[in-house]
Amino acid sequence: MSIDNTASHADLALPPSGRGMRIGLFGGSFNPPHDGHRLVARQALKRLGLDAVWWLVTPGNPLKDHSVLKPLAERIALARQIIDHPRVRVTGFEAAHGFRYTYETLAFLRASLPGRRFVWIMGADNLGQFHHWERWRDIVRLMPIAVYVRPGHEQAALSSPAAHILAPYRMDETDASILAETEPPAWMYLTGLKSDLSSTRLRATRPDYADMP
């Protein structure tokens, strides 16, 4: 498969939205995207009662090694091949604004798209290191957070510094359908269907992942 590695205007545009929409924001390097990402997106749509999930393909995670990072346009194209749901959209808009940190992205969306009910979605592995993120306490104040289970990460995630500090604001997953309407700080840990796929393992075992069907 041949991919143009120059991000297009469509790649960098925000998906359409309207006031009152419940939108899940699922950010990451997606290097490469895989069925585990698709599982999280589809489960979030269903469990959280969302109108849409936006995959925010980052130009590069400041906490990760960029030497193995595929071009943005390539990762966007692969993500669009992986996801097959009409309410899941893929965008690399962060690159157009020069955003490096999640806080910048979420603050921009809250300010520029009023009336939307955003939820930040992340895997349990990210909760384990959340306290290292730039302005992570401010992220928590911007919008509710859904943390999705990942095999082998539950203990580290739920015993992490961030989980302990945020314990008073944790909601039970039986209330998943109202998370998007809950004023932050609010978060929950979602259990359920799991995938043991990881981008790190795929890069190690499939260096030709750009040609995966």
**Residue 134 has what pLDDT?**
96
Regions of the chain with pLDDT less than 70:
1-5, 61, 63-66, 194-213
What is the DSSP code (8-state) at residue 52? E
Q: Which pTM value belongs to this model? A: 0.89
- Domains along the chain with CATH numbers: 23-211 (3.40.50.620)
Cα separation, 149 vs 193, whole angstroms = 8
Instruction: Give the distance, in angstroms, between the CA of residue 176 and the centroid of all CA atoms in the same chain.
Output: 17
